[in-house]
Amino acid sequence: MRPAAASLQAMEMSFIANSLDRQSERRGNTAYLKELLDRPDTRVVLSTDKTLVFRADADHEIGHPLSAALALGAVTEEMVFLGLRPESGQAIFATTLPSSDEELAERADLVVQDLRNLALTNAFPDEDLSALAQARALIHWHRTHQRCSRCGGKTVMAEAGYRRDCPDCGAAHFPRTDPCVIMLITDRDRALLGRPARLPEGVYTTLAGFMEPGETIEQAVRREVLEESRIRVGEVRMVSNQPWPFPANLMLGCIGTATSFDIEIADDELEACKWCDRAEIRQMIDGTHPEGHRIPPSISIAYELITGWLENRV
């Protein structure tokens, strides 16, 4: 892992360059998976419930040798197969550790890092960051689905980590990805930006929200914008999408056209919301806004939507 440096620029829209060959048709072949796991060049991505764990002496390595992973408390029965690197054929697995972040951080031979910070500091190539996103999303699901939602029985991993089975009632459970709409709403040369309280001070971003059952993407955009700002939206078009492993979302990036214009913050998700013209958004990007307002960093789809609209790319 290379250290963060002030001269490095955050990469554009992280987590979208996963090139691993997932070998999905071979996930049920336990002999094949064991052969992959036993290869000397195989690496295992290690995670806690919050962070990723790396070797301090292994620059650019996202994983650990199997023996090192086992020595840290990993168990082979809970190892997810992520895929093979397309050029070398190296197998990449991932699993969770029983230790806490605090315990691991005290070890001089390990580095404990949050995935968001790794993306912000450009610590790995985007292909590896994308593989780490796959690992974090899957491991979060496994950590939170140890029990069957039907009968409460203890589940076991199956299909190389892409299913958990309940021996008690026979239920099969599959990893979930939660779709979210994220949208820049426009009115000619103005764009609607909001400020959730959870964001750092001064950051304004696009509105966003989870899709609900029985909705189209367009319907979800209109509902969420109306709920948060009382702005009504007409035409909606999807322009981009991004896996967002916090914990396991797929962000569906849209541009929408406003048909009403008076803002009313209608729920507790936003603490501020405003129409911004192109000049103000340019100030936010350039760091010259008189009130210190700014937009999210370039690792996110929100940045892509805002800058794409500003530069007439979307």
CATH classification of the domain holding 283: 3.90.79.10
Residue 259 Cα distances to 65, 146, 230, 265, angstroms: 56, 46, 11, 17
The dihedrals phi and psi of 76, each to the nearest 5 degrees, come to: -65, -30
pTM: 0.92
Does residue 41 belong to any structural domain of this protein? Answer: yes
pLDDT digits (tens, 9 = 90+) for 62-89: 999 999 999 999 999 999 999 999 999 9
Does residue 160 belong to any structural domain of this protein? Answer: no
| E-strand stretches of 37-177 | 43-47, 52-55, 80-84, 91-96, 110-113, 156-158, 163-165, 172-173
Q: What is the mean pLDDT of residues 6-35?
A: 84
Q: What is the mean pLDDT of residues 184-207?
A: 96
Q: At 244, which helix (H) or strand (E)?
A: strand 233-244
Reply yes or no on whether the pLDDT at 39 is more than 60.
yes
pLDDT band (50, 70, 90) for residue 2: very low
pLDDT band (50, 70, 90) for residue 11: very low
pLDDT digits (tens, 9 = 90+) for 210-219: 999 999 999 9
- 75 and 188 both lie in a single domain: no
- CA 83 to chain centroid, in Å, comes to 18
Reply yes or no on whether the pLDDT at 4 is more than 70.
no
- 99 and 189 both lie in a single domain: no
- 77 and 123 both lie in a single domain: yes
Does residue 85 belong to any structural domain of this protein? Answer: yes
- 265 and 183 both lie in a single domain: yes
- 104 and 184 both lie in a single domain: no
CATH number of domain containing 89: 3.90.79
Does residue 165 belong to any structural domain of this protein? Answer: no
Supply the range of the domain harboring residue 59. Answer: 24-144
User: Which has the higher per-residue pLDDT, 58 or 79?
Assistant: 79
Between 10-14, 136-140, 182-186, 260-264, the lowest mean confidence (pLDDT) is in 10-14
Q: What is the mean pLDDT of residues 144-157?
A: 97
Between 4-13, 31-40, 100-109, 290-299, the lowest mean confidence (pLDDT) is in 4-13
How many domains does one find in the chain?
2
